[in-house]
Structure 1
Amino acid sequence: MSATDLNLLVTLDALLSEGSVAGAARRLQLSPSAMSRALARLRQAIGDPLLVRAGRGLVPTPRAIELREQVSQLVQGAQAALRPVQATNLGTVNRTFTLRTRQGFVENFAIELIERIARQAPGIRLRFVEKTDRDSTALREGSVDLETAVVDEDTSPELLTQGLFGDRIVGVVRAGHPLSRIDVSAADYAAGEHIGISLRGLEHGSIDQALGALGLSRRLITTVPGFSTALGLARSSDMIASVPERYSTRLRLGMHTFALPFVVPGFTVAMLWHPRMDADPVHRWIRSCLRDVCAGTIEP
Structure 2
Amino acid sequence: MRTRFAPSPTGPLHLGHAYSAILAHDEARARNGVFLLRMEDTDMERCRAEWEALIVEDLSWLGLTWDEEILRQSDKIDIYNARLETLGESGLLYPCSCTRGDIRAALAAPQEGVVHNIYPGTCRGRTMASRKPGDALRLDLSRALEALSGHVLRFVETGPAHEGSHIVDPEQARRTIGDVVLGRKGEDIVAYFLASAFDDADQAITHVIRGEDLFEFTAIQVILQHLFGLPTPIYHHHRLIRDENGKRLAKRDDARAIRKYREDGVTPDDIRRSLGLE
TM range (shorter): under 0.3
The higher relative CO (CA closer than 8 Å, separation ≥ 6) is in 2
The TM-score with structure 1 as length reference comes to 0.24
Q: Looking at CA atoms only, which structure, 1 or 2, has the larger radius of gyration? A: 1
Which has more strand, going by share of residues? 1
